[in-house]
Structure 1
Amino acid sequence: MEKILIVGATGSTGKRIIEILNNSQSFDPVAMIRKEEQKDIFEDMEVKWVLADLEQDDFSQALKGIDKVIFAAGSGGKTGPDKTTEVDEKGAIKIIDAAKKAKIKKFIMLSSMGADEPSKHKDLEHYLEAKAEADEHLRESGLKYTILRAGALTDDMGLGKVKLAGKLGAPGEIPRDDVAFLLIMSLADPLVQNMTFEAVEGDEPIKSAMIELSRG
């Protein structure tokens, strides 16, 4: 089984990823947590955890024995520029560099729609600029990667149906459940390899949408 480090494991989307992977026959999730008191959440689920902080410099211990990484951390669009830069840009870049050094097989990044045009979204500009910098760093890192630029995340029940494209014509929403499944499906090596794509809720089942997108 491949060991998957979930960065942002204590967040709403991260927890969904852990729950799904914990029932997988192919992947063994490892939750990255900032504070030791957060370990109880995962110990109750019998999920392994490692202690590391995106605002620190050394991720070598967190990446030990890890095969692939899902980065689902985010400060959120309402967070101030300084915190956003520390987590969404600098923190992401540091762990991308550490993943390259650790020879991680694939790095899956949860990004955001609008990251290709931050100036068009003034209320989220600093957040999208940070995401854009991290995305670009990953693309240039030499790691195998997938970058998922999701629409606005909701807590609605996932229906397993999406609309995917390298660039969608209009903004939209997508349930966290469906984002979690998209990120997990991206772990499969042939799927969306070295691709950046956008996702909102739609009419096509996730699996067929991913396969179709991968074929180009």
Structure 2
Amino acid sequence: MKILVVGANGQIGRHLVQSIQNSGEHVARAMVRKEEQVSHFKELGAETAVVDLEGEIEEIAKAADGVDAVVFTAGSGPKTGKDKTIMVDLDGAVKTIEATKKAGVKRFVIISSYDTTREAIQNAGESMAPYVVAKHYADEWLRGAGLDYTMIHPGLLTNDAGTGKVDVGPSVKADNVAREDIANVIFESLKNDATIGKEFKVINGQTPIQEALGNL
């Protein structure tokens, strides 16, 4: 399986590309924004594509040409303004979904946020509301796009080493989760067709990832 990782230079994206390449069976195509970000992924043996998410759908579609699945892990990050939240977390996600369809790819995994319901928008503080709104509408777009999607809602992301064990489900209580574990949840989801059409929350837990996904 060849997997386009959009947002590959982010922390989850880097873990995911590493896991894919370590498998020896699957291949990552790392989509990054800058040419200077390419060398890290080439050293891992991954394919690369330099594409700006704020560019045209056609450029993203070219990056997706010939892959079996697309993963959207991109995010504007906490240090950017509301404009980048809209351009990356919402418009970038929607363009990637449309580019995936344009490239004839069916399988799509998106990293959302823990809670993107209307209630979550109403309860979000002023600084977080634009982010939750962006994620809410990106999720809504994906649900109606006709793709074989999996939507992952992680808890509070940390840089702790992954344990390989998580709790997953539609209503697990908010808690921390390691970015490394989220990357491995993505990878295992791609290998498990039972996750197609599913969305679930993920936090630190006691169940091995493969088993946890099998229990969905």
- TM bucket by the smaller chain? over 0.9
Query: How far apart are the structure 2 equivalents of 1:26 and 1:55?
Result: 32
1:176 aligned residue: 179
2:158 matched to 1:154? Answer: yes
* Alpha-carbon contact 1:76-1:127 (below 8 Å) kept: no
* Alpha-carbon contact 1:114-1:121 (below 8 Å) kept: no
Query: How far apart are the structure 2 equivalents of 1:15 and 1:27?
Result: 15
Deviation at 1:47, TM superposition (A): 1.5
Query: How far apart are the structure 2 equivalents of 1:142 and 1:199?
Result: 24
* Alpha-carbon contact 2:82-2:130 (below 8 Å) kept: yes
* Alpha-carbon contact 2:31-2:49 (below 8 Å) kept: yes
2:90 aligned residue: 89
Kindly report the root-mean-square deviation, in angstroms, between the aligned alpha carbons of the 2 structures. 1.3
Query: How far apart are the structure 2 equivalents of 1:156 and 1:7?
Result: 22
The partner residue of 1:196 within 178, 185, 199 is 199
2:62 is paired with a residue whose SS is coil
TM-score (norm 1): 0.93
Return the letter of the residue paired with 1:29: A
1:61 aligned residue: 62
Equivalent pairs: percent with the same residue? 38
Deviation at 1:19, TM superposition (A): 0.6
* Alpha-carbon contact 2:116-2:135 (below 8 Å) kept: yes
1:22 is paired with a residue whose SS is helix
- Aligned pair count reads 211
Assess, with a 3 A threshold, how the Cα gap between structure 1 residues 189 and 200 changes in structure 2: closer, same or farther. closer
Return the letter of the residue paired with 2:40: I
* Alpha-carbon contact 1:77-1:124 (below 8 Å) kept: no
Query: How far apart are the structure 2 equivalents of 1:19 and 1:56?
Result: 26
Deviation at 1:43, TM superposition (A): 1.7
**Unaligned residue ranges in structure 1 (runs of 5+):** none
Matches within 5 A, 1:37-186: 37-57=36-56, 58=58, 59-116=60-117, 117-122=120-125, 123-168=127-172, 170-186=173-189
* Alpha-carbon contact 1:69-1:106 (below 8 Å) kept: yes
Return the letter of the residue paired with 1:149: H
The superposition leaves residues 111-148 of structure 1 with CA deviations (integer Å, 9 ceiling, x where unpaired) of 11021222212141111111111111111000000000
**Unaligned residue ranges in structure 2 (runs of 5+):** none
Return the letter of the residue paired with 1:157: A
1:115 is paired with a residue whose SS is coil
Return the letter of the residue paired with 2:69: K
